């Protein structure tokens, strides 16, 4: 039976899937390396449970894991995993994950992030889990060199090899993974137009004048300022060096310009100390730090900027677009899927501070361009990236894989 026919049949009669016994619920177990990462499954986990899928979440211990499990109705399992390569600790983690899998006996293991993907796929293979899925969120090795690049590349290849299905968060990421030889093309799949969890369009809505004013007041930003926003990890790979350089030019050109940076400053792939010091000492720059409640922060912005070197599929772009903001991003994997160049935003060359500054300046000057691209971005999110559609596609994929495994295809 062709894969498309299997998928259609599985979606239509998902409750009849023969892999788990008919009287059992399907058991699904998600793995992430750190507890903080489980947040990208918000809403999705609860919906799966409402569909009768018994949900388990496994990550390194942390308050976020327990809070997420309580909020979403999932069962939490904690195993310490290191983001860096630590052979002995990784072996211990594989053993502990395998033991949990043999106890839970999930029908589907769905792993995310490089280390959890590697350890989770190995453990799921040992535990003979019927369906193993590795969700590729990005390719970290593409911006690394030497031994680090080699080891990260090997990690991804092993995870993909042991998985029955490799889900990619964007079409450009899938193409890059296949081109790099990380995974076979026939094993990969992009659900709908991509993204990991879609966008909650009820939560991310364009701000009215009152909401915008309140957001700026809370941040200490003048109501009449033009606010550039950045949302993400404050690391070199996100283009913070180029953003800071472009900012130094733009702040002299436009007296009303303000810069709002939202996200944690991380020690892995660090931004140079002198760059961070310059941003921290600038009275026109607000460093917000980690804040999951982003709608009020987007409400304070006029433009989102993401000068990243690499992505899988940046959710921040879709969140900003859903709130009616235009976006300046780089012409890189993931961003080319999230931004329609010249329609919902502008794509510039990565690592090019001059092109970045010019694109930002155009939006500062041209009010109509901001409005048109912002409106087009929101319309696109509504049409192509609503959460409900993404969740349904994922559910159909689970059942299709279970059905095909049961049928021996």
Strand partners, 260: 229, 286
Average pLDDT of span 31-45: 90
Q: What is the pLDDT of residue 13?
A: 36
Average pLDDT score, the chain: 91
Q: What integer pLDDT is reported at residue 406 of this predicted model?
A: 62
Which CATH superfamily does the domain covering 209-384 fall into? Glycogen Phosphorylase B; (3.40.50.2000)
Count of beta carbons in the 10 Å neighbourhood of residue 304: 29
User: pLDDT, tens digit, for every residue of 332-379?
Assistant: 999 999 999 999 999 999 999 999 999 999 999 999 999 999 999 999
Do 3-198+387-406 and 209-384 show the same overall fold?
Answer: yes
| pLDDT, average across residues 194-203 | 94
Partner residues linked to 229 by β-bridges: 260, 304
41: tokens are 């499954």
| pLDDT mean over 221-237 | 96
Helical ranges in 127-183 per DSSP H: 146-162, 171-179
- What is the pLDDT at residue 17? 37
pLDDT confidence tier of residue 224, bands split at 50, 70 and 90: very high
**What class is the 3-198+387-406 domain?**
alpha beta
Say whether pLDDT at 18 is over 50.
no
Over the stretch 143-171, which tens digit does the pLDDT of each residue have? 778 887 888 899 999 999 999 999 999 99
CA angle 135, 136, 137 (to 5 degrees): 110
Burial 16-51 (b: 16+ CB within 10 A, else e): ebebbeeeeebbbbbbbbbbbbbebbbbbbbbbbeb
Asked if the model's pLDDT at residue 405 lies above 90, the reply is: no
Residue 15 has pLDDT above 50, yes or no: no
Q: Where are the domains positioned within the chain?
A: 3-198+387-406, 209-384
**Quick one: pLDDT band at residue 87, thresholds 50, 70, 90?**
confident
- 267-324 confidence digits (pLDDT tens): 888 999 999 999 999 999 999 999 989 999 999 999 999 999 999 999 999 999 999 9
> Can you tell me the mean pLDDT for 246-254?
97
């Amino acid at each position: 039976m062709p894969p498309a026919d299997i998928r259609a049949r599985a979606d239509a009669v998902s409750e009849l899937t023969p892999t788990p016994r008919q009287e059992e619920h399907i058991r699904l177990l998600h793995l992430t390396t750190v507890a903080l990462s489980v947040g990208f499954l918000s809403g999705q986990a609860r919906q799966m449970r409402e569909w009768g899928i018994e949900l388990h979440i496994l990550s390194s211990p942390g308050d976020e894991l327990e809070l997420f499990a309580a909020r979403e109705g999932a069962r939490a399992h904690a195993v310490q995993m290191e983001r860096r390569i630590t052979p002995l600790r990784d072996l211990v983690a594989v053993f502990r994950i395998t033991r949990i899998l043999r106890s839970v006996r999930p029908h589907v293991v769905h792993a995310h992030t490089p280390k959890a993907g590697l350890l989770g796929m190995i453990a799921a293979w040992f535990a003979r889990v019927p369906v193993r899925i590795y969700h590729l969120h990005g390719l970290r090795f593409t911006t690394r060199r030497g031994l680090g690049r080699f080891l990260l590349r090997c990690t991804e290849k092993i995870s993909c090899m042991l998985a029955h299905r490799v889900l990619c968060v964007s079409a450009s990421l899938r193409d890059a993974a296949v081109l790099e030889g990380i995974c076979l093309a026939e094993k990969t799949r992009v659900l709908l137009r991509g993204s990991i969890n879609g966008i909650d369009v009820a939560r991310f809505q364009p701000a009215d004048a009152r909401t915008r004013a309140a957001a700026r007041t809370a941040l200490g930003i003048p109501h009449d300022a033009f606010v550039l926003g950045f949302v993400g990890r404050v690391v070199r790979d996100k283009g913070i060096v180029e953003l800071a350089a472009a900012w130094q030019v733009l702040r002299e050109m436009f007296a009303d310009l303000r810069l709002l940076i939202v996200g944690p400053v991380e020690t892995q792939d660090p931004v140079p100390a002198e760059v961070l010091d310059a941003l921290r000492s600038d009275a026109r720059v607000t460093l917000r730090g980690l804040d999951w409640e982003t709608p009020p922060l987007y409400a304070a912005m006029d433009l989102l900027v993401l000068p990243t070197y690499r992505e899988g599929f940046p959710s921040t772009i879709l969140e900003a677009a859903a709130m009616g903001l235009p976006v300046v991003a780089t012409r890189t994997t993931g961003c080319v899927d999230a931004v329609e160049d010249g329609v919902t935003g502008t794509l510039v060359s990565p690592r090019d501070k001059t092109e970045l500054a010019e694109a930002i300046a155009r939006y500062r000057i041209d009010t109509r361009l901001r409005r048109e691209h912002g409106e087009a971005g929101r319309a696109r999110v509504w049409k192509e990236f609503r959460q409900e559609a993404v969740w349904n596609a994922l559910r159909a994929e689970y059942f299709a894989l279970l059905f095909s495994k049961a049928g021996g295809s």
